[in-house]
Chain A
């Protein structure tokens, strides 16, 4: 009995120590190179996306980006190096994002993080990446405070921020409806406040006089009917609709129900015809205004455009069976081009510092499938690449682009 106990105890402690020590032995005995994440043959790029969990629809973006890099590699890579795109699941859970990001930086030793999906995910990893001086490129979120060249010099933005989108609505109103009485409904959180700030700053001194009524709602509210009624009662003739798809649909429906016919602006994230307009009633959604910066694959106007045809061929070859009507397949395709551009501009100096330098030196680059006239531009002080949008109006079941490309100026 005594010997078995001792043997058992020794076995347990040996097993425990072995597992603890194996914990410590990481694959980080990788060859040390001049630049982290770079060898003569490859460039390692890190990414996290929600492959599982409630946000898993967004993983489409990471998948199309992976496919794009496969295509680039098939054509010789970037300056002779293949892109090794390492993407991990974070289920949109911030602690998981941090863990996966640390794994990518410390175990996989990537050169940079690229287009991590989600504002919360990017916020979670931001402090760490900036402290470690790892480029956080082309963040996949529109919140303005994600990008701040002074505070977070290693973070590069990408899509037009919520703020800049609202500035563009403000400019359109000033140009086309100078005597408008504006009503606004917005979500009562960071995202809604970002838009509201842009609208008010875009209107400038006129904000106080033009905005006659404001209403907010919580994401947990069941309906927004009372808010819509309040806004109509103010006598406004312009409505700025800062709501997420579920509520956008409710607003459109209610506005039609009460016989109100304002000039209706809807934010870009809620423009899905299938998810928003159809449930609200297509006939109720006619004439709604919004913005875009990328070509839509379902837009008949681009059917014969060479870039659109190239994209379609790419999808057929590298992602057969994927849903071509999903705008995320366009978004990912364009974002991947931006990374390749930055890497190309680096040449052979693939240090993290130079990557950031080149990220801050995008000189009016027009990527394939961006709307004609829209380009990406960055400077050391301004790390928001895209600040232009084009207005579009819903006609029938299609969004119809109109007017010039409008710029919102600096992001903040």
Chain B
């Protein structure tokens, strides 16, 4: 009985922070203007992308320098469905995720043969190829080629008194929340344990009966799906996509966000997203011409002093409570 009460109190204390954050997030549109909501939406979009990459890198141990490609696939699928086929945005979003998932599987399968730096190189080539593939003339009728595609912002239904920015913010909030819960459940499920085993010790995992190929490929597909959904949301937020929106720099940014947030710590995705989206602006404020150097210096300092990123600050009491007296 006492143990139950104790665990309930501990649980409610751990829920305080997340619930507080969710409530504050829901209240943000009441005080913030469109631009701030736009930035907040972008942070959430990036957090979803980083969550996806975390599933791959942090929980199944495969490195990817090319997740911007799946982000691009999601963005283009959503833009084409909404623009050319009049598909409503709430269908285009999951469709983008599904298509990205398929591409993730298609890439993950041959990638099974590759490890470490070789996998990194393969994904890097994917990132480099993406803008050029998007500009291919044979695909232009679909992709719009270099000039890109303009995307309409979803509008609030049923005459709700919300601006487009506010409505999209809430959509992003819901999607981000759902993706986060999905990731959390995945990680603590049996499949998640299997993936973790694959990362920690593939030989032991195999000996325990874990099918390496299945889990590694699924990890690729799932993380690609997350990035595809992030890309679709991004297309709706920015209202414009072009091949130049998805260069290698995007893939690198997702990875930077992952490391800054903390590899293997899901909530770190939000810190990573905040870093990647806001620190470059800060750097530009310090020096326009040297903004890249300033950004790099801040990043190096962070990695040096906090190698685990934001996860350094994660509540250690979580670990303590696990130990039974």
Point out residues on A near B: beta carbons under 8 Å.
1-2, 4-6, 8-10, 12-14, 16-17, 20-21, 23-26, 28, 51-52, 88-89, 92-95, 98-99, 102-103, 105-107, 119-120, 123-128, 143, 145, 188-191, 218-220
| Residue from A2, A95, A189 in contact with B9 in the complex, judged by beta carbons closer than 8 Å | A2
Instruction: From known contacts A9-B16, A218-B137, infer whether A94 and B238 are also in contact, taking CB-CB under 8 Å.
Output: yes
| Residue from A17, A51, A105 in contact with B24 in the complex, judged by beta carbons closer than 8 Å | A17
A-B contact pairs, 26 of them (CB 8 A): A5-B10, A5-B315, A9-B13, A12-B315, A13-B17, A13-B20, A20-B21, A21-B24, A21-B31, A23-B32, A25-B31, A52-B291, A89-B288, A94-B242, A94-B244, A95-B238, A95-B240, A99-B38, A99-B238, A120-B242, A120-B244, A125-B240, A143-B147, A189-B137, A191-B146, A218-B137
Residue from B39, B137, B288 having most chain A Cβ neighbours under 10 A: B288
> What DSSP secondary structure best describes chain B's contact surface?
helix
B3 lies within 8 A of chain A by Cβ? no
A102–B40 CB distance below 8 A: no
Instruction: From known contacts A21-B31, A23-B28, A188-B137, infer whether A5 and B13 are also in contact, taking CB-CB under 8 Å.
Output: yes
B245–A94 CB distance below 8 A: yes
A26–B17 CB distance below 8 A: no
Residues of A within 8 A of B284 (CB): 51, 88-89
B291–A24 CB distance below 8 A: no
A98–B238 CB distance below 8 A: yes
A328 to chain B, nearest CB (A): 16
Closest A residue to B249 using CB positions: A93
Instruction: From known contacts A8-B317, A20-B24, A88-B284, infer whether A94 and B31 are also in contact, taking CB-CB under 8 Å.
Output: no
Please, how many angstroms separate the alpha-carbon atoms of A26 and B40 in the complex?
13
B190 lies within 8 A of chain A by Cβ? no
A123–B31 CB distance below 8 A: no
Closest A residue to B239 using CB positions: A127
B137 to chain A, nearest CB (A): 5
Point out residues on B near A: beta carbons under 8 Å.
9-10, 13-14, 16-17, 19-21, 24-25, 28, 31-36, 38-40, 42, 132, 135, 137, 145-148, 150, 234, 238-242, 244-245, 247, 249, 284, 288-289, 291-292, 315, 317, 320
Closest A residue to B35 using CB positions: A106
Residues of A within 8 A of B135 (CB): 189, 219
Please, how many angstroms separate the alpha-carbon atoms of A191 and B135 in the complex?
12
A265 to chain B, nearest CB (A): 23
Instruction: From known contacts A5-B317, A16-B17, infer whether A190 and B147 are also in contact, taking CB-CB under 8 Å.
Output: yes
A134 to chain B, nearest CB (A): 13
Residue from A2, A5, A95, A188 having most chain B Cβ neighbours under 10 A: A95
Instruction: From known contacts A10-B16, A98-B238, A220-B132, infer whether A28 and B33 are also in contact, taking CB-CB under 8 Å.
Output: yes
Closest A residue to B234 using CB positions: A95
Please, how many angstroms separate the alpha-carbon atoms of A52 and B292 in the complex?
7
B258 to chain A, nearest CB (A): 19
